């Protein structure tokens, strides 16, 4: 049986992951409105990935006789000053998730919760990848600028990432 305070932390992380997903979906809609469908597609794939992350925690609770308790999700920011500003927010979001994962990992270690610790090792590696990906996009936006042919080409490249069903979850 999972300890109550660990169950609460996992439920909090489920909310964080769903909040991230909701943020990415809002960003995708903003990019669609700007006719930047490649960025929108990339963000839809990211939305789906965040849902999968939440479900990893959800399933972990179920497997350990815990009870997932879904929490409120706040309305995300829906307007951005520029593509770069949107991805700067994405980076902040990923850095926040990294801090949450690290905090939970410390708790798992302190409480000798080996199953949770094992799960979180995957998330620790995943967060390194997530932050690196978003930083790379910001670097590219800084390089090409935020209008004209450079942005067009970057948008095209971003569209190459598809959600797992291959259709951008459309």
Whether the Cβ atoms of residue 6 and residue 111 lie closer than 8 Å to each other: yes
Spatial CA neighbour of 40 closest among 24, 52, 51: 24
Do the annotations mark residue 53 as ligand-binding? Answer: yes
Which is nearest to 13 in space by CA: 65, 67, 53, 62?
53
The four Cα atoms 86, 89, 95, 97 give a dihedral, to 10 degrees, of -100
127 is in an annotated binding site: yes
CA 139 to centroid of chain Cα atoms:
19
Q: Is 94 annotated as a binding residue?
A: yes
* CA torsion through residues 37, 39, 40, 45, sign: positive
Q: CB-side exposure of 32: number of CA atoms within 13 Å?
A: 14
Annotated binding site: 17, 50, 53, 94, 127
Annotated binding site for Fe cation: 17, 50, 53, 94, 127
């Amino acid at each position: 049986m999972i300890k109550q305070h660990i169950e609460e932390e996992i439920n909090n992380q489920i909310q964080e992951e769903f909040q991230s997903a909701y943020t990415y979906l809002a960003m995708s809609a903003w990019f669609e409105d700007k006719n930047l469908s490649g960025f929108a597609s990339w963000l839809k794939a990211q939305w789906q990935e965040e849902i999968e992350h939440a479900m990893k925690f959800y399933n972990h609770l179920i497997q350990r006789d815990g009870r997932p308790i879904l929490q409120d999700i706040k309305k995300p920011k829906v307007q951005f000053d520029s593509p770069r500003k949107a991805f700067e927010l994405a980076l902040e979001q990923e850095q926040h998730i990294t801090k949450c994962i690290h905090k939970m990992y410390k708790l798992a270690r302190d409480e000798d919760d080996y199953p949770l610790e094992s799960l979180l090792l995957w998330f620790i590696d995943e967060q390194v990848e997530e932050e690196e990906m978003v930083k790379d996009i910001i670097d590219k936006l800084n390089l090409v600028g935020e209008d004209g042919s450079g942005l067009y080409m970057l948008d095209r490249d971003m569209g190459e990432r598809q959600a797992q069903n291959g259709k951008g979850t459309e």
